[in-house]
Amino acid sequence: MESKLTRGGFAYPGTTLVYKTGSWRIQRPVHTHRNAPCHSACPAGEDPQAYLALLDEDKPREAWELLVSINPLPAITGRVCPHPCESVCNRGQYDEPLAIHSIERYLGDQALAKNWAYPVSPAAENAPHVAVVGAGPAGLASAYHLIRHGLQVTVFDELSEAGGTLFTIPDYRLPREIVRKEIERLLDTGISFKSRHKLGREIHLPELQQEYAAVFLAPGVMKSNEWSVDGVTPYDLHEGLHLLKQWSDVASLPAMKSAAVIGGGNTAIDIARILNRNGVDTHIVIHSSLPDPDKPAADDMRAIPREIEQALEEGVQIHDHHGVKRLILRGEKLTGIEILRMRKLPDEEGRLHRVAFEGTESILHVDQVIPAIGQVVDAAGMETLLDGKSYFSVDDWGQIEGKENIYAGGDAVEGNGGTVTEAIGNGRIAAEAIAAKLRQQQLPTINKSEPVHFNSLNMEYFEPSSRVEQVILSVEERTCETEIEGGISGLQAAHEANRCFACGNCLRCDNCWTLCPDSAVLKTNEVTFDGSFYVFDYDYCKGCGLCASECPTGYISMVNE
Amino acid sequence: MNEDTQTVTPETLMQLRKNQPRFEGLESGHRACLGCGEALAARLVTEAAGPDVMIANATGCLEIFTTPWPESAWRLPWMHSLFENTGAIAAGMEAALKAQGKPTKVLAFAGDGGTFDIGFQSLSGMLERGHNVLFVCFDNEAYMNTGIQSSSSTPHAAMTTTSPPGSARMGKQNLKKDILSIVAAHHIPYAATASVAYPSDLRKKIRRAMEIEGPTFIQIHSPCPLGWGHDGADSIKVARLAVQTGLFPVIELESREMIGSMPIRNPKPVTDYLVLQQRFRHLFQQGDVRAIEELAHIQALADHNIKHFKLRGEGMDAQDSDGADTVCRGGMRWA
C-alpha cells in the first residue's frame, strides 16, 4: 500500500513488506546440491542417500526403483560389494557409518520376494540394436541400461546360463538361487540372451560390427596367469579359479590333505575357505600385508577385508609378507614348499620392489600348491582389439581406444579393481555413451565435484543412533552352502534409513524456515526446481547466513552478491 | 515457478507467503540487524500464541525495528507503550477486554531493560494484581537500541559502552539479575526461561503460558550480533552454547517451585561460549591474570547454575540440551 503523508502527520498504514530489506545483502544463501560421499565413492554410481531418503519416507518400492535405475543387481551387490560407500560415510565420524550394503541387499531381496517389475519398457522394434558379449555383471548392467535408453539388446555368452563370474563366488557369500532369480528378472526386461555363443567360435567380431549398431565387450578374465617357481611346477597343478569353477559346477575337489594357496585376492580367499571347509589344512602365502586399519592400505592384500577376517576366523592360515622360494618335490609330486619373508622397499630411484630376506626360510608341509595370482583376458576372437595386451584400454566412457562403436567393461578392462560393483558401473557408463552416440546426443557431463565434507554438516541436529548389524553365523555353524550373513528386517532397514544425514541434500527438516529471523525462507508444498521444499525470498533476505550455518546437511551455502 | 530461469516470480512468492503453514505475527521487511535473535524470538512467540492476541510493546529494539513509521511489521493488534509502563498498559488492555467479555489474550513484550530495570515497577504491579497477561522478556542482556549500555541483565564481565574493560575493571562488575526468581516471588502461576536455539521448547512454553488464566512470564535468551559482537550467522550457535555451558539455565517454575528444566547432556566449557563474542574479548588477553580469574569466575557461575538448578542430565534424553533441537526428515518437530 502506498503511504501518503497528509496534514497532521496522518499516513495510511502499510506493512513493512513495502520495504525490501534484501537490498542490505552482500551475500545470498543458495541451495547447493552436493554429492554425498557415498555417492562419490560408489563404483557403480549409486546415490545411496537418495534411496535411503525414499526408504525413510516409507517408500521401499520407490527406493528400489531409484536404486535399480543405476544398479540393476542390488540383491547381488548388497551381498558381495566391499562397500567403499560405508568407509567414507560422514556418519562414521559421528558414531558409526550407515549399513548401506545391508539396505541395498534388503531392497534387492524385497524386489525378489515381491516380484517388483523393473521400471523399464521394452525397446521399439525399429530401435537400434546393440550386441553385448559376456553375461557377467558388466554385460548384464550394460544390457539393462541400453534397454532403459530404448535400445534393443542381444547378450551373448559362451556358457549355458547368464551370470558369468558371479557363479564362481561361493554360495556361503552369494547363494546361486539369488543370482539366478535376480538375473532372470533382469533378462525379462526385454534383453535377448543367446547362450553357448563364444566369440571366435559361434560369433565373430567383424559380423557383430556389421550387424549391430554398437558392441559392448565384457568377456571377463578367463585365462590364468602362468605360474611356476624357477620354471618348475608339480605335475598335478590346479589353478585357483579353475578349482572354484569345478567346485561351483560339480561340488567336488581333487583329494588333498593340505594346500598352500598363492595370492591375496578374492579368488585366493574363496578357494582357501572352501578347501578349509572340506577339511584341508589350508595356508595362504602372499607377499603383501594383511589389512590393518592403523596402517596405510597401499600394500594390502586385494581381497575384501571382511572376507579375510572371516577366513582367519575359520582357521585359514595366512602367511603375509611371504613368498615361495622353492617347491619341494618327490619326483613330480609336491611334498612341501619353502617360503621366506619379503618386503616391499624402495630402490635407489624410489620405486618400490620386493626384497626377499635370506635366513628367514621355513617349510610348509603341503601336498598341493594352488596359484591364484590373477587372470587376463582370453584373447580368442578379439586379437585385433587387444593387440598383444592383457587387458583392454578404454577411455572414460568405456570406448576401446581408437575403435569406433566398440566398448568394453568389467574385469577385462585395464586398471579395474575386479569387483562386481565396478563392472556394473562400467556397463552403465558404456550404455550411456552408446545411447548418446546412437541418438547423436551430447555425452552427459560426469559430476566429479568434491563430496560434502563432514565439517560442513551441523551435528547439533542429530542424535547418536546405533548401526544395524547383520546376523553372522558363528564359525561352527558355517558350511559351504548356507549364507553366512543374514539380511535385515524392514524395521531395521527403516531405522538405518533414518540415520542418514542426507549429506549435501535437502532433509526437509524446516530448520531454515523455522530459524530465519526475517521470514525470508518460504516453505512450499511441492518439491521446487532445485529439489528442496523451500525458496528464499531475496526481497527480504538480509544475507545473515543463519540458515546456512544451521542447515544440518550442508545443503545451503552463502555466495557473494 | 519458472523452471527455465530457475527463479521464482514475485507473484508466486507472494502467494507462497500468504499460504505458509504457520501463523506469522511478524512480517518480513522489519529493520532488525542481520541474524537478530530478538526478531526470531518475537516471530516464534507470535507463531505459538497467535492469532487471537493483542500486544503491548515497550520501547526498545523490537518496537523500533518493527514499526518504522508509517509501516508496521505486526500482523496483530499492537500498541507501543513507554519504556516504563508496559505492565500497566497491558494490565489496562486486559481489564478493558475483560469488561467487554472478549477472550483475546494480552501479551506484553519488553526487552531486558524494559523488564529488569525501567519497566520493573509496572511489571511488578501487574503481576501482583493478577492480570491475565503473558509477559515476554526478550533478553539480549543490554540496552542495545540506545547503544549497548549495561542493564541489570548484562552478565558479569561483559563489555558494554557503560562497562568498558580497562585498568580499573574487567567489564561489568555486577552479576546478572535473577529476574525469574523475583518474578516468581509474586506468587504467579507460571514463569519460565527459553532460548531461541530451542524453538520447539520455546513454542511449547508459550502455549503452556497461553493456557493459564493469570499472570505468566517467559524470559527468552535472544542473542544480539551487534551488541554481543558475534557473526549474525552464529546467533543460534551462541544461544545454544549459553544453554549447553549452563550460563543460561532453561527452567520452568510453577508457583515458585521449579517443575522442569532442560537437562544438559554434556556441559561445555564456558570459554566455548565466550570466545565467540567480542563483548568478552578482554577475557582472552594473553598475560592478564585478571582475565584468567574472570574466566574461572564465569565457569564457577555456570557450575553453580548446573548444581543449583540440577541441570546435569543423566544419559541421553530427547529433551535435553543436545536432543531438544534434533531434526528429522519432513520437518516434524516435537512442538
- Tell me, what CATH number does A337's domain have? 3.50.50.60
Query: Which helix (DSSP H) or strand (DSSP E) does residue A154 occupy?
Result: strand A152-156
Q: What's the angle, vertex CA A559, arms to CA A553 and CA A561, rounded to 5?
A: 150
The Cα–Cα gap between B242 and B193 comes to: 12
Contacts of A272 (CB under 8 A, 6+ apart): A259, A261, A282, A284, A311, A316
Cα–Cα distances in Å, from A536 out to A375, B46, B196, B288?
Answer: 56, 22, 21, 46
Please give the CATH superfamily to which domain B16-308 belongs.
Answer: Thiamin diphosphate (ThDP)-binding fold, Pyr/PP domains (3.40.50.970)
Does some domain include residue A314? Answer: yes
Domain assignment present for A1: no
Which residue in this structure is represented by grid cell 506469522? Answer: B24
pLDDT digit string (tens) for B116-127?
Answer: 999 999 999 999
Write the CB contacts of B108 (distance below 8 Å, at least 6 apart in sequence).
B55, B56, B57, B58, B86, B87, B89, B90, B123, B126, B133, B134, B135, B136
Angle at A90 between CA A86 and CA A96, to 5 degrees: 65
Q: How far is A517 from chain B (nearest CA, A)?
A: 4
Q: A289 and A355 share a domain?
A: yes
Distance from CA of A215 to the nearest CA of B (A): 37
Inter-chain CB proximity A507 and B1 less than 8 Å: no
Which of A1, A12, A16, A542 is the mutation pick for testing B, counting most B CBs within 10 A?
A16
Residue finishing a domain among A411, A438, A465: A438
In a shared domain, residues A280 and A237: yes
Beta-carbon separation of A515 and B30 below 8 A: no
Q: Are A152 and A128 in contact (CB under 8 A)?
A: yes
CA distances from A556 to A33, A40, A505, B1 (A): 8, 19, 9, 20
Residue A8 confidence (pLDDT): 52
| Cβ-Cβ contacts under 8 Å, A20 against chain B | 29
A232 and A366, same domain (yes or no): yes
The Cβ of residue B228 has, within 10 Å, a number of other Cβ atoms equal to 24
Beta-carbon separation of A520 and B10 below 8 A = no
* DSSP secondary structure letter of residue A169: S
Q: Do residue B27 and residue A530 have CB atoms under 8 angstroms apart?
A: no
Give the total number of structural domains in chain A.
4
Task: Assess whether A186 and A156 both reside in one domain.
Answer: yes
Whether residues A234 and A370 fall in one domain: yes
Q: Which residues of B touch A524 (CB under 8 A)?
A: 16
Type of residue at A139: G
Q: Is the dihedral angle over the CA atoms B124, B126, B129, B134 positive or is it negative?
A: negative
Would A67 be classed as within a structural domain? yes
**Do B236 and B196 meet the contact criterion of CB atoms below 8 Å apart?**
yes
Give the pLDDT of chain A (561 residues) as one tens digit per residue: 455 555 555 556 688 999 999 999 999 999 999 999 999 999 999 999 999 999 999 999 999 999 999 999 999 999 999 999 999 999 999 999 999 999 999 999 999 999 999 999 988 889 999 999 999 999 999 999 999 999 999 999 999 999 999 999 999 999 999 999 999 999 999 999 999 999 989 999 999 999 999 999 999 998 888 899 988 888 889 999 999 989 988 889 999 999 999 999 989 999 999 999 999 999 999 999 998 877 777 788 989 888 999 999 999 999 999 999 999 999 888 999 999 999 888 888 888 888 899 999 999 999 999 999 988 999 888 988 988 899 999 999 999 988 989 999 999 999 887 899 999 999 999 999 999 999 999 888 877 788 999 999 999 999 999 999 999 999 999 988 899 999 999 999 999 999 999 999 999 999 999 999 999 999 998 888 888 999 999 999 999 999 999 999 999 999 999
Are A167 and A192 within one domain? yes
Chain B residues whose beta carbon lies within 8 Å of the beta carbon of residue A515: 40, 199, 236
> For residues B333 and A170, what is the distance between their CA atoms, to the nearest angstrom?
48
In which residue are the cell numbers 556394473 written?
A424
Whether the pLDDT of residue B178 is over 80: the answer is yes
**What are the backbone angles phi and psi of residue B263, rounded to the nearest 5°?**
-65, 150
| Residue B51 preceded by cis peptide, ω within 30 | yes
Answer whether B26 sits within 8 Å of A552, measured CB to CB. Answer: no
The DSSP output letter for A292 is -
A22 and A58 share a domain? no
Do A517 and B233 make contact, defined as CB atoms within 8 angstroms?
no
Cβ contacts of residue B304 below 8 Å, gap of 6+?
Answer: none
Nearest CA in chain B to A460: B322
Q: Which residues of B touch A507 (CB under 8 A)?
A: 327-329
**CB distance B29–A540 less than 8 Å?**
yes
Contacts of A182 (CB under 8 A, 6+ apart): A73, A75, A76, A108, A112
* Cross-chain residue pair A546–B1, CB shorter than 8 Å: no
* Secondary structure letter of residue B70 according to DSSP: T
3-state DSSP assignment of residue A300: strand
Q: CB A16 to CB B28 under 8 A?
A: yes
Domain that holds residue A513: 7-33+505-560
Nearest to A78 by CA among A54, A27, A113, A44: A44
End-to-end CA distance of chain A: 29
- Residues B18-32: tens digit of each pLDDT: 889 999 999 999 999
Residue with cell 536404486: A67
Q: What DSSP state is assigned to residue A485?
A: B
Q: How far is B273 from chain A (nearest CA, A)?
A: 15
C-alpha span between A126 and A419 (Å, rounded): 35
What span, in angstroms and rounded, lies between the C-alpha atoms of A145 and A157? 18
Query: In chain B, which residue's Cα lies nearest the Cα of A532?
Result: B330
Residue that the C-alpha cell 551387490 belongs to: A77
What is the rounded CA–CA span in Å between residue A421 and residue A81?
6
Average pLDDT over chain B, rounded to an integer = 94
pLDDT at residue A420, rounded to an integer: 95
Asked whether the beta carbons of B43 and A519 are under 8 A apart, the reply is yes
Structural domain includes residue A444: no
∠ CA A391-A394-A396, nearest 5°, is: 140
Which residue among A386, A403, A438 closes a domain? A438
Burial of B166 (0-12, 13-18, 19+ CB in 10 A): exposed
Q: Quick one: DSSP state of residue B75?
A: S
CB pairs under 8 A between A and B: 159
Residue B8's pLDDT is what?
80
**Yes or no, beta carbons of B10 and A539 under 8 Å apart:** yes
